């Protein structure tokens, strides 16, 4: 059995419609395909069933896309209402009204207090280590990074003349920089 290449639904529907027109125009008796005899009406029904299945699939796909879009819109509205309700409950019953918030399936707000000097120093060290590990730079640091071209040598090419080979010039790194060895 041969396989068909993947094509668009519109192409397949056009193909099947053309086959059905050809059946109407040229077939008057049964036709045997892979050992199974088909009447012209049965062949047309076979190709029409493919068109019907494609149209049903396309309708379901559109319905699914509409449904997903509806879920997102309703979800945004509900999420906003949830946050406002939570804020209103906290305002009315206080930040420590754990029993009331639990009845709504909500948690009490995390209590943040003043940090100690040691905690602030530890947080700053962690941020610096993360930036170094990820090689991230701020906008001012990015502006400081520039290329360094020492010298450029050009050699004109003359037709028919041999081209002299020269060793590539490796620029010396500026003082105080590290070089990586691969």
Residue 177, pLDDT score: 57
What are 81's two structure tokens? 């209402």
Which position has the higher pLDDT, 156 or 53? 53
Counting Cβ atoms within 10 Å, is residue 23 exposed (0-12), middle (13-18) or buried (19+)? buried
Give dist(CA 69, CA 130) in Å, integer.
Answer: 38
Query: Across the chain, what does the average pLDDT equal?
Result: 84
**To 10 degrees, what angle do helices 9-26 and 40-93 make?**
160
The pTM of the full predicted model, rounded to 2 decimals, is 0.48
């Amino acid at each position: 059995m041969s396989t068909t290449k993947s094509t668009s639904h519109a192409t397949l529907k056009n193909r099947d419609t053309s086959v059905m027109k050809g059946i109407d125009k040229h077939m008057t008796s049964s036709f045997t395909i892979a050992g199974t005899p088909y009447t012209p009406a049965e062949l047309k029904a076979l190709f029409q069933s493919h068109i019907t299945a494609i149209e049903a699939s396309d309708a379901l796909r559109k319905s699914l896309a509409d449904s997903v879009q509806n879920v997102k819109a309703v979800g945004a509205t509900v999420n906003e209402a949830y946050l406002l309700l939570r804020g209103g409950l906290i305002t009315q019953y206080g930040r420590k009204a754990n029993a009331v918030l639990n009845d709504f399936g909500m948690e009490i707000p995390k209590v943040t207090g003043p940090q100690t000097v040691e905690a602030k120093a530890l947080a700053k060290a962690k941020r610096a280590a993360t930036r170094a590990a990820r090689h991230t730079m701020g906008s001012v640091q990015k502006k400081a990074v520039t290329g360094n071209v020492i010298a450029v040598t050009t050699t004109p090419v003359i037709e028919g003349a041999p081209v002299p080979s020269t060793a590539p010039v490796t620029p010396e790194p500026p003082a105080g920089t590290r070089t990586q060895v691969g």
